[in-house]
Amino acid sequence: MLKYLFVFLLAFSFYEANAQRSKPDQLATKKGSVTIQPVLHGSVVFTWNNKTIYVDPYGGAAAFSSLTAPDLILITDIHGDHADLKTLEAINTTKAKFIVPAAVAEMLPANLKSKATILKNGDQTIQYGMGITAVPMYNLPETADSRHPKGRGNGYVLNIGGKNIYLSGDTEDIPEMKALQNIDVAFVCMNLPFTMDINQAAEALLAFKPKVVYPYHYRGQDGLSDVEAFKKLVNDKNAQIDVRLRGWYPSN
């Protein structure tokens, strides 16, 4: 009986994860389409050129059920909803390379750390034909006790087939974000008190004008941020920005 109960609960967890997960989007590039799969909170999976890229895998194995094992894993920062060691232990990382900031590398077990390339803000690398640039992510004002001090974590800009995809990581509306150029797709956080509110996020987006934006990482201490209001803030001032609201949490 316990055996059957375990199988049922396992199947239910897989069903729940897949039921919550939004359908993937496609981004056309000069070198084939990129599949964009929202997963959970700050986790997103890209598939391109027969390679699978996980960003901040979080939520346990069930959150990634039915998805191909990663060839590359990008981690933005040290906190457990980004550098989730339990999830990294639960998913298949046999063939995965890692791109991480130094503070994350220090947290990784030896078998994963040996596969990691460390980038600091401003560094670049090419992996599987994809350009990766580490960009700043931090809180304002800059203080000694900041949750996200400048230089510890990385946002990333991925150049995939000539398209630029920005992943904000945990940040506020910093000058470096507002100065971004030629961004095709942006994943932008908005959760208080850890990052920024929807007004700051909208202001930043209106400054660098990505073609497409996904609000993500929007669960804070008081629940989920109002991403519908965020979309209105953006589109009232720039109707050309495609704000895509997706199912990042089981309740939405």
Closest CA to 177 of 146, 150, 152, 143: 150
Q: Does domain 26-240 have CATH number 3.40.50.720?
A: no
Asked whether the CA dihedral 171, 28, 207, 182 is positive or negative, the reply is positive
- pLDDT score of 50: 97
What ranges do the domains of the chain cover? 26-240
Query: Which two tokens mark 138?
Result: 């931090």
Confidence of residue 252 (pLDDT cuts 50, 70, 90): very low
- The model's pLDDT over 50-84, given as tens digits with 9 standing for 90+, comes to 999 999 999 999 999 999 999 999 999 999 999 99
**Peptide bond preceding 215: is omega within 30 degrees of 0, i.e. cis?**
no
- pTM for the whole structure: 0.91
| 3-state SS assignment for residue 235 | helix
| 242 and 184 Cβ atoms separated by less than 8 Å | no
Confidence of residue 145 (pLDDT cuts 50, 70, 90): confident
- Residue 109 identity: P
**What percent of the chain has a predicted confidence (pLDDT) above 90?**
86
| 162 and 31 Cβ atoms separated by less than 8 Å | yes
What is the rounded average pLDDT of the residues 129-135? 98
